[in-house]
Amino acid sequence: MAILTDRLQNVEQQFGAPVMAQNLLGGADVFKGEKAYEYRVGDFRLIAGFYQDVGRYACFLKASLDEPAFMPEDVQACLMLIAPLSAWKDSSDVKPAASTGTGTKNSHPVVPIGSTGTTTDYQCTIKDSGGSDVGVIAWHRTTKSYLFAYCPTLPFPQPAIVISPIQIDKKLA
């Protein structure tokens, strides 16, 4: 399945008719022409951002707040919607303030209030519609109930974009 680098109409064919969603890159003044749509994809809500009808980012959120934390299989399911798991490389970045305690009743680590927890960054390369290699960056933080993936650069006329977890945390707060 493709979301990133794919045309809006192809994404709609895969996931059905979307509803408009909040732009996650900062609105019209930051990334002019960005349009965001929300889809229901299994256990997740997918907010997909498009520029000139080309998918630039995908933000997966749990559809149910009954279990908002992402389990490893949730992260894998989201990443597989962009590229095969074998294509992804990851590196965990454990912040000093993220020392974990004993598990809760759901076996989730206890993370101190105000901590960013553990951030796992993912990278892969996919092909765009023209067959060019395109880099994808994604991340998931243990203290947040989303996984975010985006293409920082695409061939012209697509602009380069830079997004940080802090920006997305603020938009989803």
Tens of pLDDT, residue by residue over 147-163, are 999 999 988 788 888 88
Residues whose CB is less than 8 angstroms from the CB of residue 94 and which lie 6 or more positions away in sequence, other chains included: 118
- The verdict on residue 59 lying in a domain is yes
- The verdict on residue 57 lying in a domain is yes
Tokens of 12: 């709609």
Helix, coil or strand: residue 145: coil
Mean pLDDT of the chain: 81
**How many structural domains does the chain have?**
1
Confidence band for 130, pLDDT divided at 50, 70 and 90: confident
| Segment 8-18 mean pLDDT | 93
Helix, coil or strand: residue 168: helix
d(CA 144, CA 146): 6
- The verdict on residue 154 lying in a domain is yes
- The verdict on residue 130 lying in a domain is yes
- The verdict on residue 78 lying in a domain is yes
Closest CA to 85 of 1, 18, 173: 1
More confident residue, 93 or 156: 156
What range defines the domain where residue 128 resides? 8-172
Tokens of 61: 């959120």
d(CA 153, CA 32): 16
> With pLDDT > 70 as the criterion, what percentage of the chain qualifies?
79
| Segment 24-41 mean pLDDT | 79
